[in-house]
């Protein structure tokens, strides 16, 4: 009941925000009925079929003002409207200041790393609770951390490799590519325990490339890297249709059911920023997950060694702005998934 009430309140909040944007910020002479209907249809279709290319592009445009750079640009544009004959209105000055503060704070490493630490802390809380329980009295249905065996290792690999263009002689990993290496490590650990799980690689076609499906499918490149890391070919399954977290979970669930291992635990490898949403999304489909986060930006709070503050942490940087933007995007995605009812409360 609480979840339903919260979801309804969030829907009302989204509706109020959209209404205010349409009536307050957009001049009335441009706010025709046709434009309002188009925006409404885009929002509606984004919930009905969010993977449709046109809808996805339109939704990216609509959500742009909610991100740090988009919010700053939006405020700057509004402020420019308050300049007349070399005079600047008080409202325009406030808008310029707000844009400056958004860019400044979002690009400070100390702020970006603090946000990342808060988000990534969720990735380890469940494991800490599990370990604490097992130190006292480990229930039958709670396996101590590090001793689990799984029927499959699922790698959410979208965006972990760069396109294998003709002039490149090897597959190049991105800054999130270490989850591929971690998946291979987890597979060897499972083998050492006498278990031989499948590795399911979920990564669809690259959105920025056109051509043969086998060539532009990122999952094939990830499978190649895994084979070079001594993972047998017959233990690798490429799931090529997942274009986001929800569709990946649905396609993986189909594979697990077809292989007869849906009832077994599944090790889920993804970035620390989105591992909580990934865990809840897979759990929503009835899959028992062992989360294994990677791609951490920060150190664990209270652990050793401790990250030392530097002068550069107080100087704006593009890297810090990128981290802040990713955290905001994950927050918006979590709200969207919650509104769709795709998140299940996480139970130990």
What is the reported pLDDT for 130? 55
What is the reported pLDDT for 260? 93
What is the reported pLDDT for 155? 96
Give the residue extent of every domain in the chain: 132-296
Residue with tokens 């990216």: 60
What is the reported pLDDT for 56? 63
What is the reported pLDDT for 268? 95
CATH for the stretch 132-296: 3.40.50.620
The DSSP bridge partners found for residue 239 are: 202
Could you tell me the two tokens for 89? Answer: 């209105």
> Whose CA is closest to 124, among 306, 348, 276, 251?
276
Could you tell me the two tokens for 245? Answer: 């977290």
What is the reported pLDDT for 217? 85
* Helix, strand, coil abundance in the chain, percent, nearest 5: 60, 10, 30
> Whose CA is closest to 292, among 263, 262, 264, 272?
272
What is the reported pLDDT for 1? 40
What's the distance, CA 165 to chain centroid? 26
What is the reported pLDDT for 305? 72
The kind and range of the H/E element at 270 are strand 266-271
Q: Return d(Cα 46, Cα 145) in angstroms, integer.
A: 39
CB atoms within 10 A of CB 180: 26
Q: Return d(Cα 348, Cα 335) in angstroms, integer.
A: 22
**Whether residue 305 has a cis bond before it, omega within 30° of 0:** yes
Residues of the chain with pLDDT under 50: 1-2, 4-5, 34, 139-144, 347-348
What is the reported pLDDT for 301? 57
């Amino acid at each position: 009941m609480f979840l339903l009430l919260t979801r309804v309140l969030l829907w009302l909040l989204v509706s109020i925000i959209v209404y205010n944007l349409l009536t307050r910020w957009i001049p009335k002479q441009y706010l025709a009925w046709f434009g309002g209907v188009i925006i409404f249809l885009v929002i509606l279709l984004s919930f009905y079929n969010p993977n449709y290319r046109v809808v996805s592009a339109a939704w990216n445009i609509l959500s742009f003002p909610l991100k740090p750079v988009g919010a700053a640009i939006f405020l700057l544009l509004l402020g420019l409207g308050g300049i007349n004959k070399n005079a600047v209105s008080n409202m325009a000055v406030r808008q310029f200041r707000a844009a400056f503060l958004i860019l400044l704070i979002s690009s400070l490493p100390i702020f970006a790393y603090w946000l990342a630490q808060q988000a990534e802390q969720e990735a380890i809380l469940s494991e800490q609770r599990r370990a604490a329980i097992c130190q006292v009295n480990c229930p039958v249905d709670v396996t101590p951390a590090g001793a689990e065996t799984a029927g499959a290792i699922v790698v959410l690999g979208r965006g972990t490799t760069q396109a294998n263009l003709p002039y490149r002689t090897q597959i190049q990993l991105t800054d999130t590519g270490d989850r591929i290496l971690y998946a291979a490590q987890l597979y060897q650990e499972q083998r050492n325990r006498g278990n031989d799980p499948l590795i399911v690689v979920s990564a669809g076609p690259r959105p920025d490339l056109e051509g043969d499906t086998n060539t532009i499918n990122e999952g094939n490149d990830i499978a190649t890297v895994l084979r070079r890391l001594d993972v047998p070919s017959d233990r690798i399954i490429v799931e090529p249709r997942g274009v986001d977290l929800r569709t990946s979970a649905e396609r993986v669930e189909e594979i697990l059911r077809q292989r007869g291992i849906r009832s077994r635990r599944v090790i889920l490898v993804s970035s620390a920023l989105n591992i909580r949403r990934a865990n809840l999304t897979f759990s929503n489909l009835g899959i028992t997950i062992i989360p294994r986060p990677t791609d951490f930006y920060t150190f664990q709070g209270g652990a050793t060694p401790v990250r030392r503050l530097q002068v550069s942490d107080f100087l704006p940087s593009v890297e810090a702005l990128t981290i802040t933007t990713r955290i905001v995007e994950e927050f918006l995605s979590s709200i969207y998934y919650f509104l769709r009812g795709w998140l299940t409360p996480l139970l130990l």
